């Protein structure tokens, strides 16, 4: 049994749970023994303690870190990511929290969880009204397959990009998994990345009907347990 938590303090946690459910059903098809995945909402340190892996949803990263601090979750989350090194995936605001540094807000800095040795630029594409959906090539989804996967419909909502690498803390290096735009353009616009147990996307796969990234991540989580 693998227990996957979704941080449920604010933002798109219900949407992540729905797609994880579909990914979990898919994972079990044709497998013997079947993989059993338990999905759970995380609002307290006790709920986090039973998780083998965690998703941090999008929302508003300053709100998320404030509520996490008030809930006594900030330190347990840092331990989960950096000491226990359990698999975590952050989308949008969740990604921001998983970066070691974030561009300052008008009111100054914000508490982060960290784990990715990068600096993230918040609200890179502008305000809510400048939200957009863009097909993005995600070559990591085709890993081990001969046929290339179709592009992913990436939903960007006040999305961040990673635009600076920091000195690496340990043996795990930052892997750039996707940039936007995919061909050429600004080389710094990293929109999907991984460093060891920490995976991040600056867009929102949970707001699409496309289960591929959830299935890809969950398969690795199940494989490492």
Of the residues 51, 92, 99, 124, only one is catalytic, namely 92
Residue 92 CB, shortest distance to ligand GLN, in Å, is: 3
Tell me the Ramachandran region of residue 76: left when phi exceeds 0, alpha when psi lies from -120 to 50, beta otherwise: alpha
Residue 29's Cβ-count burial label (10 Å; 0-12, 13-18, 19+) is exposed
**Tokens (6 digits) for 13:** 């946690």
Whether residue 190 is annotated as binding a ligand: the answer is no
Residue 121 bears catalytic tag? no
Is 100 a known active-site residue? no
Of 2 and 190, CB closest to ligand GLN:
190
Q: CB of residue 20 vs ligand GLN: minimum separation in angstroms?
A: 18
Q: Which of 15, 121, 124, 206 is catalytic?
A: 206
Choice between 55 and 222, CB closer to ligand GLN: 55
To the question of whether residue 213 is assigned a binding role by annotation, the answer is no
Is 92 catalytic? The answer is yes
* ∠ Cα 33 36 39 (to 5°): 170
- Contact between 44 and 73 (Cβ < 8 Å): yes
Tokens 């353009």 identify what position? 185
Q: Which CB sits closer to ligand GLN, 37 or 156?
A: 156
Nearer to ligand GLN, 96 or 136 (CB): 96
60 is in an annotated binding site: yes
Q: Which residues bind ligand GLN (CB under 6 A)?
A: 58-61, 92-93, 96, 122-123, 157-158
Question: Can you list the positions of beta strands (E) in the chain?
Answer: 2-7, 37-42, 53-56, 88-91, 99-102, 116-121, 132-136, 152-156, 161-165, 175-179, 190-195, 198-201
Active site residues per annotation: 92, 204, 206
List, as residue ranges, the binding site for L-glutamine.
59-61, 122, 157-158
């Amino acid at each position: 049994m693998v227990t996957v938590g979704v941080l449920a303090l604010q933002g798109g946690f219900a949407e992540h749970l729905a797609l994880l459910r579909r990914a979990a059903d898919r994972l079990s098809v044709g497998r013997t023994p079947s993989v059993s995945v338990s999905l759970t909402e995380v609002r307290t340190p006790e709920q986090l303690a039973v998780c083998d892996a965690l998703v941090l949803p999008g929302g508003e990263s300053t709100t998320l870190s404030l509520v996490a601090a008030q809930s006594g979750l900030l330190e347990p989350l840092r331990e989960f990511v950096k000491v226990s090194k359990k698999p975590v995936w952050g989308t949008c605001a969740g990604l921001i929290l998983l970066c070691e540094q974030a561009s300052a807000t008008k009111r100054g800095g914000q508490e982060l969880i960290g784990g990715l040795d990068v600096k993230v630029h918040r609200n890179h594409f502008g305000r809510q009204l400048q939200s957009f959906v863009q097909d993005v090539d995600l070559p990591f989804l085709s890993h081990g397959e001969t046929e290339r996967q179709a592009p992913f419909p990436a939903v960007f909502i006040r999305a961040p990009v990673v635009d600076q690498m920091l000195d690496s803390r340990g043996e795990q290096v930052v892997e750039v998994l996707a940039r936007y735009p995919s061909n050429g353009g600004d080389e710094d616009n990293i929109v999907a990345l991984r460093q060891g147990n920490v995976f991040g996307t600056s867009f929102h796969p949970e707001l699409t009907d496309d289960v591929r990234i959830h299935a890809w991540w969950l398969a690795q989580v199940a494989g490492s347990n």
